[in-house]
Amino acid sequence: MLPLMEAHPWAAYLDSGGEIVSTRSRWSFLCLSPAETLTLSGHTLLRNDHPVIGDPWQHLRQIAQTAVASDSEPDLPFSGGVIGLASYESGLKQNDLSSRHPSGTPSFLAASFTDVLAFDRREKRCRWISKAGNPPPDFTPRSGFPVNPPLCFIPDQDREDWMKSVRKIIEFIEAGDIFQANLTMRWFAKRPAGFNERAAYHALRATSPAPFGAWLKTPDVSLLSASVERFISLSAEGRIETRPIKGTAPAGKTEADKRRNTEILSVDEKELAENLMITDLMRHDIGRVSRLGSVAVPQLSKVEQFTHLLHLVSEVEGRLRPGLDAIDLLKATLPPGSVTGAPKKRAMEVIDQLETSARGAYCGSLFRISHDGAMDSSVIIRSLVRENQDRLSIGAGGGITWLSDPAREYDEMVLKATPLLKAFS
């Protein structure tokens, strides 16, 4: 299916990878030839490549409301609608903040799709959904496969600078300024001539299959993601769910390693505190748009495995207030709590003070909004981003608390980045 994307300037592949454990990981979707597009870069807002004025979120709402899909596939979680990307900096703006670093990516983009190729991983078959009755594209498998040269990534901080920033965050915590902050760093590489995104995505998926995998292709930015973290979901009936991830350990090479590391992670005081604070932050964010008394935490700090890593995963749920929609929910919760800190606004100020480059798409959110108003979204982590025509980037980070050890935090951050570095290097 993926070769089809190469002929389209705008295209999206939402790729459920890993084990098929629920409807969350059953379906993958290929979307080509959008009916409408929306891009915000700096102060320039383009709708269908034409300058427009107004609130980009209101334009998104208009596009989502007109992106009517076929109703012939009611069992599909997505049969048409909007797919979009909100950068980390777009979330800063929602909190009346801005970054001191220039960004190489649009702060916001979205496209509406009425034609969808859905792949059922459980039944191993494809379905073509087209509102206009268009014939399905030819997705006959093609022979041959491009091979990319190794990429040479250069970090934006060295080990000592990173640990110095960790120590500075601990000083902020000791002063009572914040409780936790998520510190990240980026690696940059020059995009070589002839770099093939399809080959790069296959390399990423081969090493890191993930429930929220994605390849989003636009003229201004491309995202190749192996995210394991759900940001926010919203059902057509108004049920909100978020699954923040905080706390990391290697899965190990054997089942004995996994059992031992699971036990250690499940009682690690620092990792549990980190997860608890972010879970509470997400309770607050969701509560801003939820019905009174509906917010609950059905799962707290449960160890789950994602390929080579173990994580502590919590679950927060609520019920959206009448009169609000998926766009109101996104605006109330961006950027994701697990990549910011607590208190959220002050943590974001500290992060911008200490980090040395804009996050851009990294730590933002990739989302889809269905024609019935339902939404699902991921936190953009474990991803390769084409920021412009000649620069590629990846990012990794971790939550810093008063109990953090700078050397251990650096090692954990590198542990998260290593699969990406190996996949492309």
Q: Which of 87, 79, 13, 100 is nearest to 56 (CA)?
A: 87
Q: Judging by beta carbons within 10 Å of its beta carbon (0-12, 13-18, 19+), is residue 408 exposed, middle or buried?
A: middle
Instruction: Strands of 196-251 (E only): list them.
Output: 212-217, 222-227, 233-234, 239-242, 245-250
d(CA 402, CA 270): 8
- C-alpha 102, offset from chain centre: 21
Mean predicted confidence (pLDDT) in 397-414? 95
- Tell me: the pLDDT tens digits for 372-389? 999 999 999 999 999 988
Please tell me the predicted confidence (pLDDT) of residue 141: 66
Residue 68 has pLDDT above 90, yes or no: no
Mean predicted confidence (pLDDT) in 327-334? 98
Mean predicted confidence (pLDDT) in 97-122? 94
Residue 74 has pLDDT above 80, yes or no: no
Please tell me the predicted confidence (pLDDT) of residue 308: 85
Contact 30, 119 (CB under 8 A): yes
CA dihedral for 383, 342, 100, 327, sign (positive or negative)? positive
Binned at pLDDT 50, 70 and 90, residue 274 comes out as very high
Binned at pLDDT 50, 70 and 90, residue 21 comes out as low
Please tell me the predicted confidence (pLDDT) of residue 399: 94
Mean predicted confidence (pLDDT) in 301-313? 92
d(CA 29, CA 212): 11
Residue 71 has pLDDT above 60, yes or no: no
What pTM was estimated for this model as a whole? 0.94
Quote the percentage of the chain above a pLDDT of 90. 82
Classify 247 as helix, strand or coil: strand
Amino acid at 58: Q
Return all residues near 56 (Cβ < 8 A) that are at least 6 apart: 38, 40, 45, 108
Nearest-10 crossing angle of helices 159-174, 406-424? 140
Please tell me the predicted confidence (pLDDT) of residue 23: 61
d(CA 283, CA 87): 22
Cis peptide bond upstream of 244, omega within 30: no
Q: Which of 376, 317, 360, 393 is nearest to 152 (CA)?
A: 393
Counting the structural domains of the chain, the total is 1
d(CA 80, CA 76): 10
d(CA 144, CA 213): 23
Instruction: Give the chain's mean pLDDT.
Output: 93
3-state helix, strand, coil in the chain (%, to 5): 30, 30, 40
Residue 49 has pLDDT above 70, yes or no: yes
Please tell me the predicted confidence (pLDDT) of residue 231: 98
Specify which of 25-29, 118-122, 211-215 reaches the highest per-range mean pLDDT: 211-215
Structural domain of residue 97, as residue ranges? 2-424
Residues known to be catalytic:
229, 246
Contact 169, 347 (CB under 8 A): no
Beta bridge partners of 311: 248, 304
Q: Could you report how far apart the first and last alpha carbons of the chain are, in Å?
A: 25
d(CA 359, CA 342): 18
CATH of the domain at 261: 3.60.120.10
Please tell me the predicted confidence (pLDDT) of residue 146: 81
Please tell me the predicted confidence (pLDDT) of residue 362: 98
CA dihedral for 264, 268, 274, 279, sign (positive or negative)? positive
d(CA 176, CA 342): 11
Contact 169, 410 (CB under 8 A): no
Q: What is the DSSP string of 289-316?
A: TBPTT--EEEEEEEEEEETTEEEEEEEE
d(CA 360, CA 76): 31
Q: Judging by beta carbons within 10 Å of its beta carbon (0-12, 13-18, 19+), is residue 111 exposed, middle or buried?
A: buried
d(CA 112, CA 45): 16
